[in-house]
Amino acid sequence: MKNRMEVGKPIGIEISIAQAEVVSQCDVDVIAAYPITPQTHIVEHLSEIVNDGDLDAAFVPVESEHSAMSACVGSSAVGARTFTATSSQGLALMHEILYIASSMRLPIVMSCVNRALSAPISIWGDQSDIMAERDTGWVQIFCESGQEVIDQTICAFRIAEDKRVMLPTVVNMDGFSMSHVIEPMSFYDTKKIRDFVGIYQPPLRLDTADPIMMGPVGIPEIYTESKKAHDEVLIESAAVVKEVWADFADKFGTQYEPIDMYKTDDADFILVTVGGMGQTASVGIDLLREKGVKAGLARLRLWRPFPHKLVAELFGDRKGVFVFDRCISLGGPGGPIASEFRSSLYNAEKRPLIVSFVGGLGGRDVTAEGFAAMVEKGIGYVEQGQAPIYEMLGVRE
């Protein structure tokens, strides 16, 4: 396959289009998808690439996202490298099939363009859609920039199809504020990408010449064990993720970590973000540093499996950790990411005060100054020695 995009030189391109291009470079066999805002540009462009003959793949248009994931399960089960993309209500409609894909150990790669869930109906971005699917047993990665979307999409195929993993993997990006934004991005040589991801060779696949059974009834005598095995392989996939990221750095030059730390070496207080708002938050940290506040930023990239041990190592001796969630766990702990941080640090000898901030819901903007104010408010709670279960930012009451 010839390179459709110029290699090496950064070009301005919409992030959704860039992801479609790199999916085609990864030599997928099947794309099954249904259009939903704001992910539609990804699968629209892939359909054009297939139609133009630049990718030898089957593009399967379906009647719903439930059918899209069902088709992906079928194609992956017969040994095809499979991709799909969705958002919001579409992801929610896939819900029951997401469990089937992961429990059957099918290495589907999916792009989730994060968008608010209804009601009230909203097409704008937050992370409530993917947080509702956090327990479906998929490897889940968040991206902060268009270049990360390119890079993590390449890595996702390698991670998912590793025989030590064999789990579906989702690459997340913010709806509109990333998906529809034009950024400078660099593309890689197609042969180099295909050498990196390799040829998908499933350990088991459906074959009429050699019949096997997949997904049989799990009677009570085996169901618990199957869930335990699934949990263990997902937890252990963290080592493979780090291995793949290290090899990506060697081959392509960029190193990724489960958590990126910014100005945290001497920081007493750390703000935690996930996704595209991390770039704005870093400017907020710069503003605080100019005022002499010892604050830093942690950007969580690997959501599942959650890096509990790393969180304890990086945050245990801080005074305060302020977690910014773009999702609210209704009637629960406030922000779902904050609850994971509380769990990770609960048994730490030196436990910082965890403050859960919820904001940016339904596409509401959060400025650099807003992030700086968030940290200052968190510091106030540390000085008081206690904080509310969560605090919703900018809400009119």
CATH of the domain at 19: 3.40.50.970
Tell me, yes or no, whether 1 lies in a domain: no
Are residue 39 and residue 128 in the same domain, yes or no? yes
Q: Of 252, 278, 299, which residue is a domain's last?
A: 252
Which of helix, strand or coil describes residue 300? strand
* Tokens matching residue 238: 């963290």
Q: What is the pLDDT of residue 201?
A: 94
Are residue 270 and residue 233 in the same domain, yes or no? no
Q: What is the pLDDT of residue 1?
A: 61
The tens-digit pLDDT sequence of the chain (397 residues) is 678 889 989 999 999 999 999 999 999 999 999 999 999 999 999 999 999 999 999 999 999 999 999 999 999 999 999 999 999 999 999 999 999 999 999 999 999 999 999 999 999 999 999 999 999 999 999 999 999 999 999 999 999 999 999 999 999 999 999 999 999 999 999 999 999 999 999 999 999 999 999 988 999 999 999 999 999 999 999 999 999 999 999 999 999 999 999 999 999 999 999 999 999 999 999 999 999 999 999 999 999 999 999 999 999 999 999 999 999 999 999 999 999 999 999 998 889 999 999 999 999 999 999 999 999 999 999 999 999 999 999 899 8
CB 156 within 8 Å of CB 109: yes
Q: Residue 52 corresponds to which amino acid?
A: D
Tell me, yes or no, whether 139 lies in a domain: yes
Q: How far apart are CA 268 and CA 318, in angstroms?
A: 5
Q: How far apart are CA 112 and CA 327, in angstroms?
A: 15
Q: How far apart are CA 353 and CA 193, in angstroms?
A: 43
Q: What distance lies between CA 252 and its chain's CA centroid?
A: 21
Domain assignment of residue 23, given as a range: 11-252
Are residue 368 and residue 233 in the same domain, yes or no? no
Q: What is the pLDDT of residue 391?
A: 97
Q: Residue 215 corresponds to which amino acid?
A: G
Kindly give the pairing relationship between strand 11-14 and strand 182-185: antiparallel
- State residue 314 phi and psi, 5-degree precision: -85, -25
CATH code of 335's domain: 3.40.50.920
Are residue 248 and residue 264 in the same domain, yes or no? no
Tell me, yes or no, whether 245 lies in a domain: yes
Best CA proximity match to 336, nearest among 350, 349, 323 = 323
Tell me, yes or no, whether 321 lies in a domain: yes
Are residue 41 and residue 188 in the same domain, yes or no? yes
CB 6 within 8 Å of CB 187: yes
Are residue 113 and residue 247 in the same domain, yes or no? yes
Best CA proximity match to 356, nearest among 336, 370, 371 = 336
Q: Residue 227 corresponds to which amino acid?
A: K
Q: How far apart are CA 350 and CA 312, in angstroms?
A: 9
Q: Of 221, 252, 283, which residue is a domain's last?
A: 252
The DSSP call for residue 334 is: B
Q: Residue 21 corresponds to which amino acid?
A: E
Kindly give the pairing relationship between strand 82-86 and strand 58-61: unpaired
Residues 238, 315, 336: CA angle, nearest 5 degrees? 65
Are residue 220 and residue 267 in the same domain, yes or no? no
Tell me, yes or no, whether 57 lies in a domain: yes
Tell me, yes or no, whether 5 lies in a domain: no
Q: How far apart are CA 348 and CA 315, in angstroms?
A: 9
Are residue 154 and residue 219 in the same domain, yes or no? yes
Tell me, yes or no, whether 397 lies in a domain: no
Q: How far apart are CA 390 and CA 335, in angstroms?
A: 7
Q: How far apart are CA 166 and CA 103, in angstroms?
A: 10
Are residue 190 and residue 141 in the same domain, yes or no? yes
Q: What is the pLDDT of residue 146?
A: 98
Q: What is the pLDDT of residue 335?
A: 97
In the chain, the number of structural domains is 2
Best CA proximity match to 273, nearest among 330, 337, 334 = 337
Are residue 157 and residue 113 in the same domain, yes or no? yes
Q: How far apart are CA 24 and CA 6, in angstroms?
A: 15
Q: Of 187, 218, 252, which residue is a domain's last?
A: 252
The DSSP call for residue 82 is: E
CA atoms 153, 155, 158, 163: torsion sign = negative
Are residue 199 and residue 274 in the same domain, yes or no? no
Instruction: Kindly report each contact of residues 195-200 with a partner whose C-beta sits within 8 Å and lies 24 or more positions away, as own/partner.
Output: 196/154, 196/158, 196/247, 196/248, 196/251, 196/252, 197/26, 197/27, 197/154, 197/157, 197/158, 197/161, 198/158, 198/161, 200/29, 200/79, 200/80, 200/81, 200/107, 200/157, 200/161
Are residue 320 and residue 226 in the same domain, yes or no? no
Tell me, yes or no, whether 117 lies in a domain: yes
Is the bond into 38 cis (omega within 30 degrees of 0)? Answer: yes
